[in-house]
Amino acid sequence: MSDQDTFKKIISHAKEYGFVFPSSEIYDGLGAVYDYGPNGAELKRNIKDFWWKSMVQLNENIVGLDAAIFMHPKTWKASGHVDAFNDPLIDNKDSKKRYRADVLIEDHVEKMRQKVNKEVEKGRAKFGESFDETQFRATNPNVLRSQEKIDQVEGRAAASLASGDLADIKALIEEQGIACPESGSKNWTDVRQFNLMFDTKLGSVAGDAATIYLRPETAQGIFVNFLNVLNTSRQRIPFGIAQIGKAFRNEIVARQFIFRMREFEQMEMQFFVRPGTQKQWYDEWKKRRMAWHRVLGTAEANLRWHDHQNLAHYADAAVDIEFNFPFGFKELEGIHSRTDFDLSRHQELSGKKLQYFDPELEQNYIPFVVETSIGCDRTFLAVLCQAYCEEDLGDDKSRVVLKLPPALAPTKVAVFPLVRKDGLPEAALAIFNDLRFEFDCAYEEKDSIGKRYRRMDAIGTPYCITVDHDTLIDQMVTIRERDSMAQERIPVSRVREIVRERVDMNSLLKQL
């Protein structure tokens, strides 16, 4: 099965089991806007909870914020979004498909990289045990030639994007022979800039209306509240402000399910530091954020760093953590050293001093900022893709199971009476009613026990408890584990404690 097939299956599984629906589907949906169903809402809430606890609860020097989506329009002038939050778009004249020119080039470079990797794998197969990958990459003429080409294309694209030389971006696409992925045509329009912000009107009287924007990132809500938080939270630098909230971008191309949406949620933390220490904090947050992904169970091979060549106007260093989605490695999280750009600009446009008095240095300054910014929806997709598993159980039987980290699973435990009679439902309901105060749980008595297990596997429920006739005599139940399908008998009196031990988010947090 190709990765694309797997991706299609994941999308239909997400819909069939109430994780993600296309928005307003009865009207045929709305491009790149999605709704989360009952199970999706729970999974998303757990992801946000894990992020919030790891940031705010576990760090005394990070506090939370919940700023409004609407902000004074000057905010976006100050941040540079009005003038520079553009993506370079290009249309294919034959297929009439629209693309981001930078993404077309990135995908082209990724293909070149795959070729190099194939060359390396050939080398590995040829030389066997004695193969030294670093040396091979540094000396093999084919690899060196390809790597030089990659560096040239990347370097030129970065320089032209930075200087706004859109004609050169088009020239590069043509020189590299990049074709429309849908039609294979190389008949391109010129590259144009497209501002990604949605605007709307504030005020009920049309004449009085002011244009305001739906925020394209949550970060600015943090910057404009810097002084409020500083003055009310007794924090001293270095300290951070964390926020989870909706952001909106009128994305040019939105074809990868919830990877690229027009309305999405970000989990962002801005860490304010003494000028000159930003590099040290940037390295520290890179380390901490990668550890967070690893604790969630993401395999090392599915994560990689991608250093930005084309730095945003506000950054002096930037890196992405990329995840190996079924459509390739793509950005999941960004870690950016944002300098003092944002606070300086807000100070300039608002006329309010956004400074910090450092008692150790006995000096006022505008703090520097290191940001960690992760998409909640992209994390959801990464978790889902990693968890999705089709298993052959022999005897022509198979199952689809979501091997979600138990702490993130929408339902932690399901309770079943083996049959719907003989007092078993009453005994099972008593257990369910005890558990529901502590965990998201389900009670089911319809269908065979096998079918009920399969349904729970498909939504990633880590434990099922079955009450049978023996339970009424010996007060023991069967607990069945999702991944191994192993079953054991445990006393009813210990069910809550045993489930807690195995699904508790604290055990993940303690590993951070």
Which residues in this chain contact ligand ATP in the complex, by CB under 6 A?
A: 217, 249, 251, 260-261, 264, 266, 331-334, 373-375, 377-378
For CA atoms 483, 484, 490, 494, give the dihedral sign: negative
CB 187 within 8 A of CB 94: yes
CB of 176 to ligand ATP, least distance (A): 20
DSSP string, 280-318: HHHHHHHHHHHHHHHHTT--GGGEEEEE-SS--TT-SEE
CA-CA distance, 260 to 103, in Å (whole number)? Answer: 13
Helix (H, G, I), strand (E, B) or coil at 44: helix
Residue 17 CA: distances (Å) to CA of 11, 39, 360? 10, 7, 56
Q: 339 or 466: whose CB is closer to ligand ATP?
A: 339
CB of 375 to ligand ATP, least distance (A): 2
CA-CA distance, 143 to 112, in Å (whole number)? Answer: 10
Q: 345 or 378: whose CB is closer to ligand ATP?
A: 378
Q: 91 or 217: whose CB is closer to ligand ATP?
A: 217
Q: 261 or 435: whose CB is closer to ligand ATP?
A: 261
CA-CA distance, 382 to 294, in Å (whole number)? Answer: 12
CB 238 within 8 A of CB 273: yes
CB of 146 to ligand ATP, least distance (A): 24
CB of 276 to ligand ATP, least distance (A): 24
Residue in the structure block whose two tokens are 């043509």: 174
Q: 169 or 428: whose CB is closer to ligand ATP?
A: 169
Q: Closest Cα partner for 370 from 344, 339, 334, 343?
A: 339
Residue 174 belongs to what H/E stretch?
A: helix 166-175
CB of 371 to ligand ATP, least distance (A): 9
Pairing of the two strands 463-467 and 476-481: antiparallel
| β partners of residue 398 | 392
CB of 266 to ligand ATP, least distance (A): 5
Q: The tokens of 153 are what?
A: 């294309």
CB of 106 to ligand ATP, least distance (A): 9
Residue in the structure block whose two tokens are 């003429």: 141
CB of 391 to ligand ATP, least distance (A): 30
Q: 325 or 356: whose CB is closer to ligand ATP?
A: 325
Q: 251 or 438: whose CB is closer to ligand ATP?
A: 251
Half-sphere exposure at residue 488, Cβ-oriented, CA atoms within 13 angstroms:
10
CB of 489 to ligand ATP, least distance (A): 44
Q: 375 or 460: whose CB is closer to ligand ATP?
A: 375
Q: 42 or 268: whose CB is closer to ligand ATP?
A: 268
CB of 251 to ligand ATP, least distance (A): 5
Residue 199: φ, ψ to 5°: -120, 160
CA-CA distance, 20 to 36, in Å (whole number)? Answer: 4
Residue 405: φ, ψ to 5°: -55, 130
CB of 84 to ligand ATP, least distance (A): 12
CA-CA distance, 135 to 407, in Å (whole number)? Answer: 43
Q: 192 or 399: whose CB is closer to ligand ATP?
A: 192
CA-CA distance, 498 to 496, in Å (whole number)? Answer: 6
Q: 283 or 331: whose CB is closer to ligand ATP?
A: 331
CB of 405 to ligand ATP, least distance (A): 19
Q: 260 or 274: whose CB is closer to ligand ATP?
A: 260
By beta carbon distance, the residue nearest ligand ATP is 375
CA-CA distance, 152 to 175, in Å (whole number)? Answer: 12
DSSP string, 76-139: HHHTTHHHH-EEEEEEBTTT--EEEHHHHHHHHHHHHHHHHHHHHHHHHHHHGGG--HHHHHHH
CA-CA distance, 279 to 271, in Å (whole number)? Answer: 12
Q: The tokens of 413 are what?
A: 């435990």
Residue in the structure block whose two tokens are 């806007």: 33
Q: 333 or 342: whose CB is closer to ligand ATP?
A: 333
CA-CA distance, 156 to 176, in Å (whole number)? Answer: 12
**Residue 366 has what DSSP assignment?**
P
CB of 271 to ligand ATP, least distance (A): 15
